[in-house]
Amino acid sequence: MNKRAFGWLVAIIVVVGIIYAVAKRPAGPAALAGEVTIGAVLPLTGDAAAYGEPLQRSVQLAADEINKTGGVGGKTLKVLFQDGKCAGPEATNAIQQLVNVDQVQFVIGGACSGETLAMAPIVNEKKVVLVSPSATSPDITTKGGDYVFRTSASDAFQGRVAAEYAYRNLEKRKAAVISESTDYAQGLSRVFVRRFGELGGAVAVDEVFNPGETNFQATATKALGAKPDVIYIVPQAPAAGLNILKQLRNQGVTAQLLASETLAGRDTVKENAEVMEGLIATESAADESVPATKAFLDAYTVKYGEAPFPSYQTGAYDITFLARDAYVGGATTGEAIRAWLAGLGDRQGALGTYRFDGNGDPVFATYAILKAEGGAFTKLSTEKIGG
């Protein structure tokens, strides 16, 4: 082989090596010219998609607005959505894709506590920030770790509000509790049972059902057999809760029905007016008189033709802007974003005024007490705790 041929061979080998290296380089944000990429893990299929999809729409609405107004320092904000299915194994697969393959540094989610708790060890190990708009299990406070934040308050607050309203406002003294065996539902149930007892009430029945169950005849029979004056229902998603309500109605329930926000959907009550009539539900609330909140609610309603969950969807919307502002402020790694969030102080957004404590939790919570009447919810009161 002459020198010229040898030179060409070397050049070809070098070029091939460069092409191979580029092809194997992870497709993270640094490799996407003109884009800043974040992730989101939400339940997009299954029963929990009833609130996963609205949260996805809220995130996308925020991203669209950000991109119409200059993006992230002139770069397009791109959100990579993964289906966590409101379950630990699926959420684990989803976060591994986002962290290990897509190499994102900021993830919105999960919607469900089980998703969030399953992802927590991974994001802490990889030093990637995870911010949930709606995961409320008290376990997240102690098990979430330094890289997990949330804009929704712990169910240590909501369970307390439900118990106190049942005992003090409704003057109920004997309760039956029916809850699903998920992190979210058990967190609420535990707090309700404890607080109701502290106030002087008695929990006569505490029934737990497994995800996927559809026949609640025996559960309803047992609950009604204790002759409670209030029945607290805590499903993970609306479908199971509606089945429980139907079985209770079929057996002639006269006790006051009380539920968590999974049965507080505006479409849910509209489509199931008869079976939900008289139900009282607690819901994490946003102040709809705040201009930024009203602007979001109006924009969402116009775009999607439905009313949003005020608190959780404003949270998802706000978290997207948190990502933008962190990057614009120079926090582009998970470690830097975590430090930025930890030192944020009071934040003004569609969610209202909020800030994170040392555990990544919001320091206060506001709840609306709603009553189903004629296929719609009427607000009975607003309760604020923390601060």
Average pLDDT on 212-230 reads: 97
Same domain, residue pair 350 and 295? yes
Residue 7, domain member (yes or no): no
Q: Please give the Cα distance from 294 to 339 (Å, whole number).
A: 30
**Total number of domains constituting the chain:** 2
Residue 63, domain member (yes or no): yes
Residue 371, domain member (yes or no): no
At residue 361, what are phi and psi to the nearest 5 degrees?
Answer: -95, 155
Same domain, residue pair 168 and 193? yes
* Percent of the chain surpassing pLDDT 70: 91
pLDDT 10s digits, 161-202: 999 999 999 999 999 999 999 999 999 999 999 999 999 999
For residue 200, is it left (φ>0), alpha (ψ between -120 and 50) or beta?
left
Report DSSP state, residue 258.
E
Angle between helices 113-126 and 88-96 (to 10 degrees): 30
Residue 276, domain member (yes or no): no
Q: Give the CATH number of the domain where residue 306 resides.
A: 3.40.50.2300
Residue 15, domain member (yes or no): no
Same domain, residue pair 145 and 172? no
pLDDT 10s digits, 25-78: 333 333 334 899 999 999 999 988 988 999 999 999 999 999 999 999 999 999
Residue 204, domain member (yes or no): yes
Same domain, residue pair 64 and 136? yes
Same domain, residue pair 108 and 212? no
Same domain, residue pair 177 and 90? no
Instruction: Note the pLDDT of residue 11.
Output: 43
Beta strands 106-109 and 364-373, pairing class: unpaired
Residue 378, domain member (yes or no): no
Same domain, residue pair 54 and 138? yes
Beta strands 347-349 and 280-284, pairing class: unpaired
Average pLDDT on 91-99 reads: 98
196: containing domain: 156-264
Same domain, residue pair 84 and 181? no
Same domain, residue pair 96 and 111? yes
Same domain, residue pair 146 and 169? no
